[in-house]
Amino acid sequence: MPTAEIITIGTELLLGETADTNTRFIAQTLRGLGVDLYRTQTVGDNAGRIAEAVRAALQRADIVITTGGLGPTVDDPTRQAIADAAGVTLEFHPELWDQIVARIARYGRTPTENQKRQAYIPLGAMVIENPVGTAPAFIVETSPVPMGAEAGLRVVITLPGVPREMETLLAGAVVPYLQKRFNLQDVILVRTLHVSGIGEGVLDERVGDLEALKNPTIGLTAHSGIVDIRIAAKAGSATEAGRLIADVEKDVRLRLGDDVFGADSDTLENITLAALAQRGWSLACVESGLDGALLRRFEQAGHPLYRGGNQQALQAGSLGQAAEKTNQEFNSSVALAVALSISGESQDISVAVITPLGRVERQLTYGGHPKNAVRWTVNSAIDWLRRIALEARK
């Protein structure tokens, strides 16, 4: 069986600012394929140290998988580092640039010149198109520098660090490549269910026994108000793996009900807008203390029933009135008003929702890190709106 090593790249990982969830996901995927994983390591955003780590890994392993450092900024050095480790130059791919431009255009934006860096990959590398992000991934097939390493072709697989992008490319492109390249017979499929409105600890209590399963394997990943349940199955065919996943997914959905809002590429805002659309309701928003985060989420969803919104200073007691005014301003049938107030260790959240059925308000507190307060607030408010829409259908 082939052997592998994982290298996660990012100074934010070394500083402890970001939790590394990618290593676990990749490790479980490799295990399902029958690949022996012997080492994992983290390297900061330094091209020289990344290249050194990759060269050393190629002395020991058949497969080296890296994640991170593929963004458009100066401190995203992975492309150059992999080229250095393989002894080649970077090559510009016009077709990759066209894909990047097209993807950015979906958000109504024009790409900046520095984003062209993402269209450069090591000479001779195989491109992995990224359907869920702007950073193309790639595979370099190379031979190790002769320092006692066993003979044979080695591969470096370079993936983005954003977990959902990495997971999508790993399952959709890397796994089939490894199966063919190393004659791996098993198939592994991944299904990710998205849960909102309950914390990771509560969720673990409800599905903890499923996390002990050997095949499919179940894992949880928290994202400030949203928790992902990853179901990965290994079988001799995609059909059989899909059946294994379907059985577990049915069990999870029965246990969690409306706490599961979607799967795979579903987003909380798109699912919520779809729920409103089933009632024929349009939406407008007003926010305070969120720096436009709530408005951006709905704007990027691109749903025709989202009428727009604005930012203004709001007090908890005036939220309902602000929602009423927003309804009138945008001629919508539903208004969502959200205010976040952070004072010292106190992080208070007020939410008001106006629908054709009436007005409801609630107060929340957030006890996590202040840097995560905005995302948690936005996810919690959108989830409450989703549940109101679902309840109105019953």
85 to 37, 41, 54, 144, 155: CA distances (angstroms): 21, 17, 6, 10, 12
Is 140 in a helix, a strand, or coil? strand
Nearest to 338 by CA among 376, 303, 306, 301: 376
Residue 369 has pLDDT above 50, yes or no: yes
Q: Does CATH number 1.20.120.1200 belong to domain 276-393?
A: no
pTM for the whole thing? 0.62
**Single-letter residue type at 161:** G
Residue 1 has pLDDT above 90, yes or no: no
Residue 109 has pLDDT above 80, yes or no: no
- Residue 144: the pLDDT is 59
Q: Are 334 and 310 in contact (CB under 8 A)?
A: no
Q: Are 210 and 249 in contact (CB under 8 A)?
A: no
From first CA to last CA, the distance across the chain in angstroms is 54
Q: Are 193 and 252 in contact (CB under 8 A)?
A: yes
Bigger pLDDT: 329 vs 369: 329
Domain ranges of the chain: 3-184, 188-263, 276-393
- Residue 101: the pLDDT is 82
pLDDT tens digit sequence for 126-153 = 999 888 887 889 999 987 554 444 557 8
- Facing residues of 230 across strands? 192, 219
Residue 311 carries which DSSP code? E
- Facing residues of 4 across strands? 37, 63
Residue 154 has pLDDT above 80, yes or no: yes
pLDDT tens digit sequence for 79-97 = 999 999 999 999 988 888 8
Looking at CATH, the fold of the domain delimited by 188-263 is given as Alpha-Beta Plaits (3.30.70)
- Residue 36: the pLDDT is 80
Give Dmax (Cα) for the chain: 74
- Residue 147: the pLDDT is 45
CATH number given to 3-184 = 3.40.980.10
User: What's the chain's average pLDDT?
Assistant: 89
Q: Are 34 and 62 in contact (CB under 8 A)?
A: no
